[in-house]
């Protein structure tokens, strides 16, 4: 192991612009990756950061209005489910959001579900559900619902659908607590802005919020760690005097394809989740791969087997039910496999020693 780590340190010490991709790891692993990227002037990205990067940009431009999972579950009288993404991310989502028992809830409305632009799917029994769907694309349906909520005029060929949209808009205005549920990976930024503006219209007289599905692979935990480290989410470069975030420029696949990145550290070490490697990864760009799964890497690449977070060792991860970082206990009582943090911290020390020598 020591010689492998030394080879990895040698490879990275020579890199001009390394990218730390994948990042399917726990918070300790992310902390170590960020520290090494800062030391080397590299980039941090996450394999599922497309959606979180978009949401982060909307946040920086306008802000946000999130609700925790628990608040939605206990207090929302109207849940607006947007797109297919949420149920694809969690098949039991709606059952969780409409439990049999909840805390005191504002208003007298019966709980209701409005699904917008989704395929037919399982809905909770006994909950009145309105489906706003049809041939219209999802962004248009969200915009129509926003217009109906504001009582702004709009035209639709499908009169029946138009009536449903108007009725849904009225329900939103009369609700005590509306929550829009979506997956940032599915929605483009203008759609997120439309949802946010609808919420901000509603909160003038009542309660309203958003619930964004969390990214797979502890994407939200890694993002939070990046933010408390440097105030910016992933897809951030430490090459300049100050950290720079850019969701296009610092995307792993693009950096590899363009040849801008001259080294890759690929991390895929979470129990129950697998980061699909970038198409050109491990082919042509010198790579250090930290993985808890079997890896098909290039001949000269350095592969280091690590423990799977939450299986081989306890792991701090973003947990949707508490809308924050919690600790998941290891499944196996004892594992000798090193953690991502162990490996990256050791590589960092070897680089320091090499620099000092």
Minimal distance, residue 233 CB to other proteins, in Å = 7
d(CA 357, CA 12): 16
311: left (phi over 0), alpha (psi -120 to 50) or beta: alpha
- Nearest C-alpha neighbor of 86 from the set 230, 183, 201: 183
Based on CB atoms, which residue is closest to other proteins, 228 or 284?
Answer: 228
**C-beta closer to other proteins: residue 209 or 292:** 209
Least distance (Å) between residue 32 CB and other proteins: 10
CB burial of 279-305 (b: ≥16 within 10 Å; e: otherwise) equals eebbeebbbbbbbbeebebeeebbbbb
Smallest gap from residue 68 Cβ to other proteins (A): 4
- Choose between 4 and 64: whose C-beta lies nearer to other proteins: 64
**CB count in 10 Å sphere of residue 119:** 10
Q: Is 182 helix (H, G, I), strand (E, B) or coil?
A: strand
To the nearest whole angstrom, how small is the minimum distance from the Cβ of residue 338 to other proteins? Answer: 14
| Positions in the binding site for other proteins (CB under 8 A) | 27-28, 31, 38, 56, 59-71, 73-75, 96, 99, 101-104, 106, 176-177, 203, 206-207, 209, 224-225, 227-233, 241-243, 245, 314, 316, 319, 321-329, 341
Least distance to other proteins, CB of residue 63, Å: 4
d(CA 47, CA 219) in angstroms, rounded, equals 8
In whole angstroms, what is the distance from residue 337 CA to residue 323 CA? Answer: 29
Q: Of 4 and 38, which CB lies nearer to other proteins in the complex structure? A: 38
Nearer to other proteins by Cβ, of 164 and 313: the residue is 313
Task: Yes or no: say if 221 and 324 are a contact pair by the CB < 8 Å rule.
Answer: no
- Report residue 228 as tokens: 């408390």
Which C-beta is closer to other proteins: that of 60 or that of 354?
60
Give φ, ψ of 20 to 5 degrees: -100, 100
Q: Which is nearer to other proteins, 199 or 289 (CB)?
A: 199
CB 175, CB 109: distance < 8 Å: yes
CA–CA distance, 311 with 320 (Å, rounded to integer) = 19
Q: How far is the CB of 159 from other proteins (least distance, A)?
A: 34
Residue 296: phi and psi, rounded to 5, are -100, 95
352 DSSP 8-state letter: H
Residues comprising the chain, all counted:
357
Q: What is the dihedral of CA 201, 205, 206, 211, to 10 degrees?
A: 20
The nearest distance, CB 55 to other proteins, in angstroms, is: 10
Quote the least distance from Cβ 14 to other proteins, whole Å.
Answer: 23
Q: Which of 26, 112 has the CB closer to other proteins?
A: 26
């Amino acid at each position: 192991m020591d010689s492998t780590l030394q080879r990895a340190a040698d490879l990275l010490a020579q890199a001009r612009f390394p990218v730390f991709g994948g990042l399917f790891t726990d918070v300790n692993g992310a902390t170590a990756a960020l520290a090494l990227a800062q030391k080397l002037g590299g980039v941090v990205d996450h394999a599922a950061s497309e959606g979180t990067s978009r949401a982060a940009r909307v946040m920086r431009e306008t802000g946000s209005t999130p609700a925790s999972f628990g608040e939605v579950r206990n207090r929302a009288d109207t849940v607006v489910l947007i797109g297919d993404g949420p149920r694809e991310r969690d098949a039991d989502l709606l059952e969780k959001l409409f439990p049999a028992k909840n805390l005191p809830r504002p208003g007298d409305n019966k709980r209701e579900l409005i699904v917008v632009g989704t395929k037919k799917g399982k809905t909770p029994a006994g909950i009145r559900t309105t489906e706003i769907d049809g041939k219209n694309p999802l962004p248009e349906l969200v915009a129509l619902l926003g217009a109906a909520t504001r009582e702004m005029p709009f035209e639709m060929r499908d009169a029946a659908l138009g009536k449903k949209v108007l009725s849904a808009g009225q329900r939103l205005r009369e609700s005590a607590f509306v929550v829009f549920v979506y997956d940032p990976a599915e929605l483009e930024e203008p759609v997120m802005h439309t949802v946010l503006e609808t919420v901000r219209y509603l909160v003038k007289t009542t309660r309203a919020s958003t619930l964004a599905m969390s990214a797979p692979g502890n994407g939200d935990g890694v993002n939070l760690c990046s933010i408390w480290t440097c105030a910016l989410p992933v897809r951030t470069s430490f090459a300049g005097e100050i950290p720079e975030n850019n969701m296009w420029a610092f995307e792993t696949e693009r950096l590899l394809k363009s040849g801008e990145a001259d080294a890759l550290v690929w991390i895929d070490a979470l129990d129950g989740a697998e980061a699909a490697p970038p198409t050109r990864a491990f082919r042509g760009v010198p790579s250090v791969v930290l993985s808890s799964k079997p890896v098909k890497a290039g001949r000269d690449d350095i592969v280091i087997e690590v423990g799977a977070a939450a299986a081989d060792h306890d792991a701090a991860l973003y947990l949707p039910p508490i809308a924050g970082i919690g600790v998941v206990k290891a499944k196996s009582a004892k594992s000798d496999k090193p953690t991502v943090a162990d490996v990256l911290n050791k590589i960092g020390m070897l680089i320091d020693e090499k620099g000092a020598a």
